[in-house]
């Protein structure tokens, strides 16, 4: 039975990813999708990237992949490169052209019509078509200002609170100890790299995302082995 498995932000946590996929029992018949941010901060970014590529998964572009690609492009053109973390600089030095090209082909969003789902890293701007949204905002948005403008700030009204689909949006980026559950959106970045957990949404063939009160029935998590980076923040 082919399922759809959507995995939250991995951030280089290969052992947790392997445990999650094993626990779910992911096989070649399943459609495997990642919300982006495979890279950075965790202990084995290169291992995660190689594993996910080998699995033939769909990966939407996260803000870390977005930054890395801009950094590499600027360096190759011998232009001033955007400021990136040491972790991303190290990733840039270690990945080859093949992996870099693979990342450059990552879409900013991916639709799964069978489930009425759209996967995007940061989220959607309520009331705005995704095709009309700047790519950089799709990977960084967290919420809305009191004036109704999109913002990347941590202290804000979450965009999922006012987004009225369809489609149902499954996203990452804004880490919390528990999934974000809204009527038309589900956030599955549960802060694995911060010592939280790695979470996936698992949908059976033709299954639609359940209502808010039953949403956790399609969510599966494994705890992080330890805290690898920084201080975990609530969204």
User: Over the stretch 58-70, which tens digit does the pLDDT of each residue have?
Assistant: 999 999 998 888 8
Rg of the chain on CA atoms, in Å: 17
Mean pLDDT rounded to a whole number for the chain: 92
Q: How far is CA 4 from CA 67, 82, 92, 209, 214, in A?
A: 28, 36, 31, 11, 18
Helix or strand holding residue 101 (H, E): helix 97-104
DSSP codes joined into one string, 21-71: HHHHT--TTSEEEE-S--SSSSS-HHHHHHHHHHHT-EEPPPHHHHHHHHH
User: Over the stretch 24-73, which tens digit does the pLDDT of each residue have?
Assistant: 999 999 999 999 999 988 999 999 999 999 999 999 999 999 888 887 77
**Domains in the chain with CATH codes:** 4-223 (3.60.21.10)
Q: How far is CA 127 from CA 48, 150, 159, in A?
A: 35, 11, 11
Reported confidence tier of residue 111, pLDDT bands at 50, 70, 90: very high
Inform me whether the pLDDT recorded for 227 exceeds 80.
yes
Tell me what pLDDT residue 235 has. 39
């Amino acid at each position: 039975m082919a399922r759809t498995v959507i995995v939250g932000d991995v951030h280089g946590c290969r052992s947790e990813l392997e445990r999650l996929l094993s626990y779910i029992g992911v096989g070649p018949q399943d459609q495997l999708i990642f919300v982006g941010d495979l890279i950075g901060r965790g202990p084995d970014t290169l291992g995660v990237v190689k594993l996910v590529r080998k699995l033939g998964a769909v990966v939407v572009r996260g803000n870390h992949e977005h930054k890395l690609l801009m950094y590499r492009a600027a360096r190759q053109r011998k232009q001033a490169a955007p400021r990136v973390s040491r972790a991303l600089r190290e990733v840039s030095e270690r990945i080859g052209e093949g992996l870099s090209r693979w990342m450059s082909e990552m879409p900013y969003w991916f639709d799964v019509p069978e489930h009425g789902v759209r996967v995007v890293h940061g989220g959607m701007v309520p009331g705005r078509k995704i095709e009309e949204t700047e790519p950089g905002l799709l990977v960084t948005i967290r919420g809305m200002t009191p004036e109704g403008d999109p913002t990347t700030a941590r202290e804000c009204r979450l965009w999922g609170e006012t987004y009225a689909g369809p489609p149902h949006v499954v996203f990452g980026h804004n880490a919390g100890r528990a999934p974000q559950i809204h009527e038309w959106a589900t956030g599955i970045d549960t802060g694995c790299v911060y010592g939280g957990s790695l979470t996936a949404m698992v949908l059976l063939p033709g299954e639609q995302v359940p209502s808010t009160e039953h949403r956790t029935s399609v969510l599966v998590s494994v705890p992080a082995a330890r805290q690898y980076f920084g201080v975990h923040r609530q969204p």
